[in-house]
Structure 1
Amino acid sequence: MKLLPTQSKRILLTLFWLWTLGIWIGSLMPMSGPSIENGDKIQHFIGYGVLALLAQLIWHQPRKIWLGATLMGVAVEFAQALTPYRSFDTHDMLANSIGAVFGLLLACAWLKRQ
């Protein structure tokens, strides 16, 4: 496993924190417009997949990253339950967790090839 140069790591860290912030903001804002059936599950899968992929490229700790992403997904769902326009959904948590696994697998495969 190759360590990233400092400049690349800074860029990835910036992307990781911006992506994390984007997940929180997007998850707590009112939903807008019509959506496709279960389209939000795809968004959850992709959102947490990218989150885990970025984290793995930075920290190389898949178990901790998966746990952190999964716990963040649970926290987001509880926060949504506190808003008048969003709701708590265990299926969203599952999509988050599966997306994180997929992102970790992609990152691990990519790192292995380097």
Structure 2
Amino acid sequence: MAAADVDVGPAALLHEAYELFGVTGATLWRFHTRTALREAGLTVSGRKQATAENEHLLAEQLTTRQIATVLRLNGDVVGGRLTRLLARTGKRSRTELVTVVLTGTLDSL
């Protein structure tokens, strides 16, 4: 990740890190690697899995501001993603959303 931040190192290393973070369940690091891949103009595989990982990150019991800080995003972007996720799932609160994500029933919606 440090190499990506200074634009050093082959793209293969970023892709390898992305895959390793996925295997180990390091969702936050995988998110940051996905961002680095996009910023480097590289393709990111597994859009469906990436969406699911983002939903898990958004469902964490953090404030919108905390999520924005952790993901290095604007608070409005996080708020928009939460709104779309709530609308897509038909849930009315973040508490309901967290329950759906943590029980694994989100995929069936």
Indicate whether the TM-score tops 0.5: no
- Which of structures 1 and 2 has the larger relative contact order (alpha carbons within 8 angstroms, sep 6+)? 1
**Higher helix residue share:** 1
- TM-score, length-normalised on structure 1? 0.30
- TM-score, length-normalised on structure 2? 0.31
